[in-house]
Amino acid sequence: MPSLRELQSDFLEAILGADALAAPAAPRRAQERLAREIVADTVGLAERLAIYAHNAEHHYLASLRKSFPVIRRLVGEEYFTQCAREFRRGHPSRSGDLHHVGAPFPAYWKNKHGDDAYRYLADIARLEWLYQETSTAAEHGPFDLAKLARVPPAAYETLRFCLHPTARLFASEFPALAIWEENLRSDQEPAIIDLRAGGVRVLLVRRVEGIALRPLSAGEFAFLERIGKSDDFEAAVAAAAEADPEFNATQALEKFVREQVIVDLVQPLDGGLCAC
Amino acid sequence: MGAQVCPPPGARDRARTQAPNPAPNIPAAAGIGLRSPHLDEVLCTRPAVAWFEVHSENYFAAGGAHLAQLERIAERHPLSLHGVGLSLGSTDPLDGRHLERLRRAVTRFEPALVSEHLAWSSVGGRHVNDLLPLPYTEEALRHVSRRIEAVQDALGRQVLIENVSSYVEFCASRIREWEFLAGVVAESGCGLLIDLNNIYVSSRNLGFDPDIYLAGIPPSAVQELHLAGHTAVPTHGRELLIDTHGAPVADAVWDLYARALARFGTLPTLIEWDTDLPPLATLIAEAAKADVFLGAAHAQLA
């Protein structure tokens, strides 16, 4: 009699194996072994296992559909389903919580359409995933200004600031934000958007009233991007100045603290990493 | 009949000493499985629903509007967290990250009930994200009972274990499912969530008497009942029943529910609907129907 481990391995292989990229003979052999361990029925084993296989695919695809409604609308239900199935073969679920399976989906689109007329799709998928991350990240209170006041001015350059946990940065060479907004609502025909209309840099951050999408200048984007990577203040300012010679670091810092985009600081002696 | 399952020494002590649940009890009334498309409506209209149950994994996020909405709902309604992804019966190590997220959700929402399934969904790190059946063997009984104990220890409270729908039966199963559930209760000190639709679906697919099933369940362990819809698929000269959670509760399941209430007494009863989610009003109407059964059972038992 096989062990519980062996039974489970064959059962799972028989259900998921047909969807995997590797060895197509493996699920057949697993099903043959499993057939000796399952009580016979007038309904064949393959048909009964297909119920579980269908459920597995249904739940996985439902999670992708929920996370990427605009991609789904842009490419149509049939092509979305075809691509989602292909994506699943390369990215099988590794968790009992399906909310994270879509994380590599933007890279899938970049790989699939990165060199053709549809390469904007990867950017739309990335925006949708960032939106989901912003929607579900942790809360954080406003900046404790007394903490900043305690820092001696000579130490400013080595300070590391922390972004709000919900803050995400998005940039695209395409008018991706306009495309996304135009296709979010499924009850109206979207307007035609010229892909050559110019790129976009956006900050996504969650507020009490919902997700805010704020346009950023090149300098602001570079500044926040470096802060988000835990670079120190001096490096962030240098990157911003390189992107935009007119960038004013003091004004930017004041603005993003006031708007609760920058919400904390750490000093090198603290380890230099944001807790959030 | 399969082999008799006896609790090991000390099992009854474990059952007795399991920490009481901190939140107020859920009333012996009908509740609704709350899904995200209905959150706004529930908050705005404040329907007279006795209690709500949500899928635990839908509230594992660190923050966000859905969590805030559920916190507001939980201020007015008793809440149950119902997990679908812990893979309790798997031979993989228990997923510590998943369990920690569940613990955080339990701390945040203080639900009156926390439940999981007598099932597995992963092996070798690959997940099916569906509820797969266990072989009912002594090995599986010991294994899943230890896992339930570990979960209860991590959460600091008792969990309820739910029976699942089955489409296959293992030759190795020497224990009947109802005996297995009783054994798991005795070994781990867990409670039971009995899904009457799942019993009915499995009884038709695998050919057992659902009343023998009910008679084999220890009434004192049952703390919640589930009702849901299924779909019948004609195949090979018979019907295969599929647990879709996408239809009204079938008449035969309502009948089984009445017999369950006669055996177990009146209990919190959930209307579950997941696929092709109907308007909230449809779920409320199904819950009202369950309340009629509960009222009749209460009158008979009084």
- Residue B165 has which token pair? 């729908």
Task: Tell me which amino acid residue B241 is.
Answer: L
Determine the average pLDDT of the residues in A60-81.
Answer: 97
Distances (CA, A) of A188 to A41, A65, A115, A191, B112: 50, 19, 30, 9, 43
Question: In degrees rounded to 5, what are phi and psi of residue B115?
Answer: -135, 160
Closest partner CB to A96 (pick from B86, B139, B143): B86
Domain extent for A165: 137-276
Shortest distance, CA A249 to any CA of chain B (angstroms) = 31
- In A, minimum Cα distance to B130 occurs at A56
Among B191, B239, B246, which Cα is nearest to B218's?
Answer: B191
Predicted confidence (pLDDT) at residue B44 exceeds the cutoff of 70: yes
What count of other Cβ atoms lies within 10 Å of the Cβ of residue A215?
Answer: 11
A54 part of a folded domain: no
Q: Residue B9: its pLDDT value, please? A: 36
Burial class of residue B131, CB neighbours in 10 A (0-12, 13-18, 19+): buried
List the strands of the sheet with A210-215, edge to edge: A168-172, A200-207, A210-215
Concatenating the DSSP letter of every residue in A208-235 gives: TTEEEEEE--HHHHHHHHHHHTT--HHH
A225 part of a folded domain: yes
Q: Which positions in chain A touch B236 (Cβ < 8 Å)?
A: 42-44
- Residue B94 has which token pair? 């228990």
Distances (CA, A) of B152 to B77, B105, B115, B129, B147: 24, 14, 11, 22, 9
**Per-residue pLDDT tens for B235-280?**
888 899 999 999 999 999 999 999 999 999 999 999 999 989 999 9
A27 part of a folded domain: no
Instruction: Tell me which of B3 and A123 has the higher pLDDT.
Output: A123
A192 part of a folded domain: yes
Mean pLDDT of all residues belonging to chain A = 91
- Residue A46 has which token pair? 């393959």
A110 part of a folded domain: no
Cβ of A97 within 8 Å of Cβ of B139? The answer is: no
**Per-residue pLDDT tens for B102-118?**
999 999 999 999 999 99
pLDDT above 90 coverage of chain A, percent: 74
Closest partner CB to B236 (pick from A43, A51, A98): A43
Shortest distance, CA B165 to any CA of chain A (angstroms) = 11
Chains A, B: CB pairs < 8 Å = 136
Rounded Cα distance between B145 and B147, Å, is 5
- Residue B48 has which token pair? 């007279």
Q: Residue A21: its pLDDT value, please? A: 55
Q: How many domains does chain A have?
A: 1
Domain B11-301 of CATH type 3.20.20.150? yes
**Per-residue pLDDT tens for A2-27?**
999 999 999 999 998 766 555 567 77
pTM: 0.92
B142 touches chain A (CB under 8 A): no
Predicted confidence (pLDDT) at residue B22 exceeds the cutoff of 80: no
Closest partner CB to B123 (pick from A9, A98, A135): A9
Among B25, B29, B55, which Cα is nearest to B270's?
Answer: B29
**Per-residue pLDDT tens for A93-118?**
999 999 999 999 999 999 999 889 89
Determine the average pLDDT of the residues in A249-275.
Answer: 84
Q: Where are the domains of chain B?
A: 11-301
**Per-residue pLDDT tens for B140-157?**
999 999 999 999 999 999
User: Do A42 and B236 meet the contact criterion of CB atoms below 8 Å apart?
Assistant: yes
Q: Residue B210: its pLDDT value, please? A: 98
Task: Tell me which amino acid residue B39 is.
Answer: L
